[in-house]
Amino acid sequence: MGHLVSARLKVGVIGAGAMGASHVATLAAGVPSAEVTRVFDMDTARAKEVASSVGAEIADSADALVDGVDVDAVVIASPDFTHVALVLACLRVGKPVLCEKPLALSAEEAHSVVDAEVALGRRLVQVGFNRRFDPGFRDLKRSIDDGSLGEVRVLHGIHRNASSSTSTDDAGLVTGSMIHEFDTFRWLLDGEIVGIRVESPIVGGFRDPQVATLWTSGGQMITAEVFVNAGYGYDVRVEVVGTGGSATLEPRTPVVRRIAGSAGSMIGSDFVAHFIESYRLELAAWADAALTGTVVGASAWDGYVANLVAASGVRALGSGAREDVEVPERPGLYA
Amino acid sequence: MGHLVSARLKVGVIGAGAMGASHVATLAAGVPSAEVTRVFDMDTARAKEVASSVGAEIADSADALVDGVDVDAVVIASPDFTHVALVLACLRVGKPVLCEKPLALSAEEAHSVVDAEVALGRRLVQVGFNRRFDPGFRDLKRSIDDGSLGEVRVLHGIHRNASSSTSTDDAGLVTGSMIHEFDTFRWLLDGEIVGIRVESPIVGGFRDPQVATLWTSGGQMITAEVFVNAGYGYDVRVEVVGTGGSATLEPRTPVVRRIAGSAGSMIGSDFVAHFIESYRLELAAWADAALTGTVVGASAWDGYVANLVAASGVRALGSGAREDVEVPERPGLYA
Amino acid sequence: MGHLVSARLKVGVIGAGAMGASHVATLAAGVPSAEVTRVFDMDTARAKEVASSVGAEIADSADALVDGVDVDAVVIASPDFTHVALVLACLRVGKPVLCEKPLALSAEEAHSVVDAEVALGRRLVQVGFNRRFDPGFRDLKRSIDDGSLGEVRVLHGIHRNASSSTSTDDAGLVTGSMIHEFDTFRWLLDGEIVGIRVESPIVGGFRDPQVATLWTSGGQMITAEVFVNAGYGYDVRVEVVGTGGSATLEPRTPVVRRIAGSAGSMIGSDFVAHFIESYRLELAAWADAALTGTVVGASAWDGYVANLVAASGVRALGSGAREDVEVPERPGLYA
Amino acid sequence: MGHLVSARLKVGVIGAGAMGASHVATLAAGVPSAEVTRVFDMDTARAKEVASSVGAEIADSADALVDGVDVDAVVIASPDFTHVALVLACLRVGKPVLCEKPLALSAEEAHSVVDAEVALGRRLVQVGFNRRFDPGFRDLKRSIDDGSLGEVRVLHGIHRNASSSTSTDDAGLVTGSMIHEFDTFRWLLDGEIVGIRVESPIVGGFRDPQVATLWTSGGQMITAEVFVNAGYGYDVRVEVVGTGGSATLEPRTPVVRRIAGSAGSMIGSDFVAHFIESYRLELAAWADAALTGTVVGASAWDGYVANLVAASGVRALGSGAREDVEVPERPGLYA
């Protein structure tokens, strides 16, 4: 039976915060094709706690983890500013890497990853846009792809957090939160975002919520609201409107309580819990692909373009005007 | 018991098309404080049919109807271009009038009604923004007014028709359909719209759907989609988002059918049927108010401001930019 | 225009409690074909208050009201034990009467009304089973009648009150509350109930909730829960299950509030408010029919059969066994 | 890192039909703590296909699989009549076993498993009542356990299949399908079923649907409808009604399509797909427990009691009366 065991992907996880710890737990509890062998975090105590919970070891440094002989592939869940350097390190040693979004802090930085992959001549990078693996989002995409909505004309997106400790400034809302929408829309529509405007009802102070308008290469318009201090819970919804009908993704827990004059279902506030199945499917798909030398999900190119749209979004937030998104030609590697 | 009978408002209805015929039927079947005595339509056969269905007589002309001794008050449901002249005629003879939206084809024209009322020194005009009387919309407004949503930051409106035979050109979508949203937002928020942008994913050809962005005097932003050829049915929804939570109006028929792999409820395509209870409550409130010499609902001023916003909306559709809405000072009559 | 006025049905209302007061208000505000002329209640102050609110007079006694020259037709909303005598009084003077449910306290008593109508040779009695006029229930019935559910096999009914001041003993739950279900099921299925069992999880003390099983002439089985102290609100739901699918009536207010970790809609506790539109449609249909000498809705026969099923239900509550319902042959008058 | 690998539970799966194949795939794709090493099926080709899809081997016989050195624990998904002998074989060799429901064809047979475990002095058997691991059902149970529903009085269960190739006779509906409800109700309420009645609207021919009434040791009543040829899809719902409110489990896919006059969500017909996450969580919990020498989920005792209730249910189907369920004292092993 040894052949099965040898097929298991040995994974090193960099970053043991909420996201990293969740990925470690999910890999251990839900992804048979992988095993977590090493964990690194600047906070060694945290790294130890997370590593030991699944029988893994800690690494002395992120670089040591990437280079380790007991690491076949790497998950990056460390702070955003570390992403690019770590992804490039993985590319240098030819190891598959799943990097949390955003791929980079800027489009330029993200493009250096694309350049490195192109130079390498093969793809190793997946960017953690987990919604592509969410059963609800996949069902929504199916409604588009099977033609039942006719020609798509408009999308509406809602993305709300109860509160946020990470998206805490105007630009951060675009580059850290709304970036999920950018990838979602590109993926749902198999198209590019060609223009963006970002505005807020708030003038003076932290501009939250933000309301974006986007235009696509397919001739659609999109409205997207991101509100990271919405208070009541974590809430992600999308409506796709076509000439043949509309499809709305609106997740709801299956239990309705009728108590004291109200019929209601619970809304959680934890985005990891909300999307936990998508993370599991993402990690499983990534590990399975890594074992066969392929890459699925959002590519480095997709990560770059998301950064590119975000950059235009941040500019738009400042200019108050529509900013174009100039997407360069896609390298053949990502065809 | 004769005192009850004498209290009944004798109503003349101008226009016997779909809306007018519905108002005649609703008055007869659901508004005890009113009785339809006269009906006028350019199409005499149609006027006769509608009038006779409720035991009323036809009038020889709209003017004759307005002047008629057996007409205490007037409902105007004739083509939009006739509204202002007819309302002014009612004002001249001092009769209460419920005028279908829009009050006028232009803000200037609408203002002439305001001027006439101000000159008269008392209000007689109600504009038929029926949503103000819809139980669902009133419930939504209650959620705002009672503070349970905290401070309102963003609204999202959806307004779709299966198809439209009246809103058939770019500007008409704004002045004929989206005008409902203008009044709805002003009323829900007890505020003014101070800026508007109207765009469409369609370039070349009939620009339907349209996506509007609006700004209010209360510092809110609003997105509004109007799509008059959405195919699947008549669908009006609004979400109000505040710092304390969100409230969504999404009417649904109470019967869910589980058949052949789907659990669904019906969506009608007839806006009159959809809002029939709001029309009844509107007509009843109007008649009751007329009998006591008062006016409720949307005033001539509200009708004027809706036209004013629509004018900015049409300009915005052309300019592609945000257009300000400059609302003059509100005359004391409408305080 | 006097012909319209003369067509108005002069209505006397007996009983000015919650139900009677609601009927008076609904007739005045929503039924143009009727006007309330007289109100009687044992509590004269209450009668005066209700009467004066719509410009009507009080009557010196129920009999005086029935006999009054300014009363064309009678609504009975007085205590249940008075119903039969009052209905018979109306029949004696040949006046149409809408009697609140139940028609009588016993099947025998109810049958005396049937006998009186049969002797009279024409129908004058409508029993106030308002759900037959509720748009939701009518939509549900349509789903059955149009064949989209195939052959109906099973129904499930839920009928809950937050609390009840009227259904306060074991038998009263059957005769006062569950009797609505008996008529609803007969009407939905165009069939008879042929057997009934009524049980409760409560042994000792007030047997609330009660769970009934019913069998129909059409070969269906039905479960029905009645719980008059359910606490959370007024809640009436029905599911109809056939070989082709299922249809569930589950009314929901159209506003969903997302607040503090929950997405919910309101459930009221007032059954009159819940069904207010059905009462208006019931009263309007009754008045319109009365003006043309006909009767719609549930007949005296239907009222009698509901009492008959209730009697079997009360027996079943005692016996713990299924009790048959022996419906005599229907007189030709009710064919 | 070898310690991780050695911790993996080597699983043999008996039965490679729909359920068995699903378990094999789920173990391989979603349960890292287990690996499928052997598969047996009477149909060798089918066994080979399923085994090879996950890199496992086939076994020569069920007994050989149970005895195999490369099998630490066994999943039984073969035909129902084989269950008891296979479970007893596992007990003989002291290997943990997850046996699909029903544990046995009769309560007597099931009790022999209990006897064997008691004689062994330790528990090794889990019965595959997967709903205990379903997130929705767990959420429902939480609503009961946290007291938010007050004292539970009534439950209503719905269990419908589009069609069934396994529950094809009257008793089979009880022993094969409704048995899920028996375990669900016991588990939700932490109580015993003390009485049962099973009836059907169908007289003559296959008695489908069936309507059961159950009584619990906690003084609750339960209605349960099982309809295995409901046509429209797989549909499992439960409502729990207490003195403090009601909680309804009604799973719904998160995408609502508005197309051609209807707003609807999809209902699948495949129960494996519907409950796939519960199967994964069940298998994972089983494997994790097996690795630590414990048992979770439904025990052999629970399996036996479910068979006992089913036996009373089948008797009730014949007698038309309530049949008591006499649960013997629970052996200390299952305390």
List of chain C residues whose C-beta atoms are within 8 Å of the C-beta of residue D235: 246
Closest CA to C50 of C72, C18, C81, C76: C18
Beta bridge partners of B262: B259, D266
* pLDDT tens-place string over residues D193-218: 999 999 999 998 999 999 999 999 99
Give yes or no for B319 touching C (CB within 8 A): no
The Cα B289–Cα C146 span in angstroms is: 43
The sheet with strand A97-100 has its strands ordered as: A57-58, A34-40, A9-14, A73-76, A97-100, A125-128, A298-299
pLDDT at A166: 84
Q: Give residue D7's pLDDT.
A: 74
pLDDT at site B180: 97
Which run of H or E residues covers position D249? strand D245-249
For residue C302, with 0-12 CB atoms within 10 Å meaning exposed, 13-18 middle and 19 or more buried, which class applies? Answer: buried
pLDDT-based confidence at C165, cuts 50/70/90? confident
Residue B288 CB contacts under 8 Å (≥ 6 apart), including other chains: B33
b/e sequence A38-50, b meaning 16+ C-beta within 10 Å: bbbbeeeebbbeb
At the fourth CATH level, the homologous superfamily of domain A2-131+277-299 is: NAD(P)-binding Rossmann-like Domain (3.40.50.720)
Using the beta-carbon criterion (under 8 Å), do A265 and C262 form an inter-chain contact? yes
Q: Say if CB D68 and CB D12 are below 8 A apart.
A: yes
- pLDDT digit string, tens, across residues A303-322: 999 999 999 999 999 999 99
In chain D, ranges of CATH 3.40.50.720 domains: 2-130+277-298
Alpha-helix runs per DSSP H in chain D: 2-6, 18-30, 44-52, 62-67, 83-93, 107-120, 135-145, 170-172, 179-189, 271-274, 276-291, 300-319
CA C42-C44-C48 angle, to 5 degrees, is 130
User: Would you mind telling me the total number of residues written for chain A in this entry?
Assistant: 335
**Residue intervals in chain B for CATH 3.40.50.720:** 2-130+277-296
Q: Report the distance separating Cα A282 and Cα A77, nearest Å.
A: 14
Terminal C-alpha separation, chain D: 38
What homologous superfamily is domain A134-270+306-334 in, according to CATH?
Answer: Dihydrodipicolinate Reductase; domain 2 (3.30.360.10)
Mind listing the pLDDT tens digit for each residue in A76-130?
999 999 999 999 999 999 999 999 999 999 999 999 999 999 999 999 999 999 9
Residue C95, CA distances (Å) to C63, C78, C104, C279, C287 in order = 12, 17, 19, 20, 12
- What pLDDT, in 10s, does the model give residues A222-255? 999 999 999 999 999 999 999 999 999 999 999 9
- The minimum CA-CA distance between C117 and chain A, rounded to whole Å, is 44
Scanning C190-249 for CB atoms below 8 A from B yields 244-249
Class of domain C2-131+278-299 as given by CATH? alpha beta
As a whole number of angstroms, the distance between CA A59 and CA A39 comes to 6
Report whether the peptide linkage leading into residue A209 is cis, meaning its omega lies within 30 degrees of zero: yes
**Using one digit for the tens of pLDDT, what is the confidence trace for D219-278?**
999 999 999 999 999 999 999 999 999 999 999 999 999 999 999 999 999 999 999 999
What does the CA dihedral A314, A317, A133, A92 come to, rounded to 10 degrees?
0
**Binary contact (D227, C211; C-beta < 8 A):** no
User: In the numeric block, which tokens belong to residue D201?
Assistant: 């609207």
Q: Look up the ipTM and state it.
A: 0.94
Instruction: Tell me the per-residue pLDDT of B174-184, one tens digit each, with 9 for 90 and over.
Output: 999 999 999 99
Summarised one tens digit per residue, pLDDT across range B246-295 is: 999 999 999 999 999 999 999 999 999 999 999 999 999 999 999 999 99
pLDDT tens profile C16-60: 999 999 999 999 999 999 999 999 999 999 999 999 999 999 999
Of A232, A258, A259, the CB nearest to C258: A232
State how far the alpha carbon of A332 is from the alpha carbons of A115, A121, A183, in Å: 12, 10, 20
Rounded distance between C-alpha atoms, residue C244 and residue C152, angstroms: 8
* High-pLDDT (> 70) share of chain C, %: 98
Write down the pTM of the prediction. Answer: 0.95
CB contact under 8 A, D241 and C223: no
pLDDT above 70: residue C4: no
Inspect the interface and report whether the beta carbons of A260 and C235 lie closer than 8 Å: no
pLDDT for the residue numbered B123: 98
pLDDT > 70 in chain D, percent? 98
Return the half-sphere exposure (C-beta side, CA atoms, 13 A cut-off) of residue A62. Answer: 21
Q: Are D109 and D84 in contact (CB under 8 A)?
A: yes
Q: Which residue of C has its CA nearest to B70?
A: C1
- Smallest CA-to-CA distance from D33 within D68, D7, D1 is with D7
| Token pair belonging to C301 | 């026969």
Tokens of D171: 């008793």
Q: Would you list the DSSP string of B261-324?
A: TEEEEE--S-HHHHTHHHHHHHHHHHHHHHHTT---SEEHHHHHHHHHHHHHHHHHHHHSS-EE
Distance spanning both ends of chain B, measured CA to CA: 38
DSSP code for B178: I
CATH class of B132-275+306-334: alpha beta
Which of B177, B211, B185 lies closest to B197 in space, CA to CA? Answer: B211
Question: Under CATH, which number does the domain D2-130+277-298 receive?
Answer: 3.40.50.720
Please list the residue range(s) of chain D that carry CATH number 3.30.360.10. Answer: 132-269+306-334
d(CA D225, CA C156) in angstroms, rounded, equals 9
If one counts every other C-beta atom within 10 angstroms of the C-beta of residue A110, the result is 28
Cite the residue boundaries of each domain of chain A with CATH code 3.30.360.10.
134-270+306-334
Q: How far apart are CA C300 and CA C116, in angstroms?
A: 10
B chain contacts of residue A201, beta-carbon cutoff 8 Å: 153-154, 215, 219-221
Chain A interface disruption, residue of C232, C237, C248, most A CBs within 10 A: C232
Q: Nearest CA to CA, how far is B241 from chain C (Å)?
A: 9
Enumerate residues 6+ apart whose C-beta is below 8 A from C56. B1, B4, C24, C35, C36, C37, C38, C39
Q: What is the mean pLDDT of residues B105-123?
A: 97
A258: nearest CA in chain C? Answer: C232
In chain C, CATH 3.30.360.10 sits at 132-270+305-334
Residue A293 has a CB neighbour count (10 Å cut-off) of 10
The two three-digit tokens of residue D55, written as one number:
């890199």
Element (H, E) at A5: helix A2-6
Mean pLDDT (chain D, rounded): 96
* Rounded-to-integer distance, Cα B12 and Cα C124, Å: 35
Domain with CATH 3.40.50.720 in chain C: 2-131+278-299
pLDDT of A6 higher than 70: no
Mean pLDDT of the region C268-288:
95
User: Which residue intervals of chain A bear CATH 3.40.50.720?
Assistant: 2-131+277-299
Q: Which of A184, A238, A181 is nearest to A212 (CA)?
A: A181
Whether the bond between D96 and the residue before it is cis, its omega within 30 degrees of 0, is no
The CATH number given to D132-269+306-334 is: 3.30.360.10
| pLDDT at C166 (0 to 100) | 84
Number of Cβ atoms within 10 Å of the Cβ of C194 = 18
Q: Name the residue among A4, A27, A254 with its Cβ closest to that of D251.
A: A254
Beta-strand pair C9-14/C73-76: parallel
CB half-sphere exposure, C240, CA atoms < 13 A:
26
Q: Residue C67: is it exposed, middle or buried by C-beta count within 10 angstroms (0-12/13-18/19+)?
A: middle
User: Among residues D10, D99, D26, which one has the least CA distance to residue D299?
Assistant: D99
**Averaged pLDDT for residues B116-125:** 98
Question: Testing the interface with A: which of B217, B225, B238 to mutate, by most A Cβ within 10 A?
Answer: B225
Q: How far is CA A126 from CA A79, A174, A293, B244, in A?
A: 17, 21, 12, 37
CB of A106 within 8 Å of a chain B CB? The answer is: no
Residue C197 is encoded by which pair of tokens?
A: 């069992």
The span from the CA of C37 to the CA of B1, in Å, is 7
Which residue from A142, D240, B199, B245 is spatially nearest to C260, judged by alpha carbons?
B245
Q: Please state the rounded mean pLDDT for residues A9-35.
A: 97
CATH code of B2-130+277-296, in short, is 3.40.50.720
Residues of B with CB below 8 A from A220's CB?
A: 201
Which tokens is B311 given? 């004018």
Q: D256 and A250 in contact (C-beta within 8 Å)?
A: yes
Q: pLDDT (tens digit, 9 = 90+) per residue, D130-186?
A: 999 999 999 999 999 999 999 999 999 999 999 998 888 999 999 999 999 999 999
In this model, does residue C149 exceed pLDDT 50? yes
pLDDT at D279 over 70: yes
User: What phi, psi does D279 have (nearest 5°)?
Assistant: -65, -40
Task: Give the pairing of strands D255-259 and D262-266.
Answer: antiparallel
Q: How confident is the model at residue B31 (pLDDT cuts 50, 70, 90)?
A: very high
The CB density around residue C269, as the number of other CB atoms within 10 Å, is: 18
SS3 per residue for C84-146: HHHHHHHHHCCCCEEECCCCCCCHHHHHHHHHHHHHHCCCCEEECCHHHHCHHHHHHHHHHHC
Q: How far is residue D315's CA from residue D170's CA, in Å, rounded to a whole number? A: 11
What rounded mean pLDDT belongs to chain A?
96
The DSSP H or E segment spanning B157 is: strand B152-160
Using H for helix, E for strand and C for coil, what is the string for A52-116? Answer: HHCCCEECCCHHHHHHCCCCCEEEECCCHHHHHHHHHHHHHHCCCEEEECCCCCCHHHHHHHHHH
At residue D203, the 3 state secondary structure works out as coil
| Residues in chain C closer than 8 A to A250 (CB atoms) | none
Residues 247-286 of C with CB under 8 A from A: 252, 258-269
Q: How far apart are CA C12 and CA C97, in angstroms?
A: 10
Q: Do D249 and A258 touch (CB under 8 A)?
A: no
In the CATH scheme, what is the homologous superfamily, with its name and number, of domain C132-270+305-334? Dihydrodipicolinate Reductase; domain 2 (3.30.360.10)
Residue B58, pLDDT score: 98
Residues of each domain in chain B carrying CATH 3.30.360.10: 132-275+306-334
Residues in chain D within 8 Å Cβ distance of A56: 1, 4
Touching chains, A (3+ CB pairs < 8 A): B, C, D
Spell out the residues 6+ positions from residue A205 whose beta carbon is closer than 8 angstroms to its own.
none
Task: Give the residue from chain D lying closest to A246, CA to CA.
Answer: D258
